[in-house]
Copies of this chain bind each other. A is one copy, B any other.
Amino acid sequence: MLVRSIGEAAAQVRGRRLKLRLSQDQLAQRAGVSRKWVYEFEAGKQHAELGHLLRVLDALDLQLDVSPRSASSESTQGTVNLDAVLERHRDG
């Protein structure tokens, strides 16, 4: 699932946690963070620490991926493929 904002990440975390039938407390302990962090993050706090998120995702058996946005063509009509443009523009 694509994650554009912290809110979306929060939704993913909460959804997954519920799916796994974990309480905020259990998740917090598994991930080594405080329940407050879990609660606040799920509530949409706008300034969360990346390291904590990684640990929580790990505890939820979720993984994080980074990929070029315009790479997955399709549905890119009307948008610019920055990758391609830059590729062409390069020294070559």
Contact = CB atoms under 8 A, between A and B. Distances in A.
Query: How many copies of this protein are present in the complex?
Result: 2
A67 B62 contact: yes
B5 A54 contact: yes
Interface size class of A (residues with CB under 8 A): 35 or more
A18 to B, nearest CB: 12
A20 to B, nearest CB: 6
Contact of A6 (B19, B54, B61, B70): B54
Given A48-B49, A57-B66, A62-B67, 13 more contacts: A2-B64, A3-B64, A21-B86, A46-B51, A47-B49, A47-B51, A61-B69, A63-B66, A63-B67, A64-B64, A64-B65, A65-B65, A65-B66
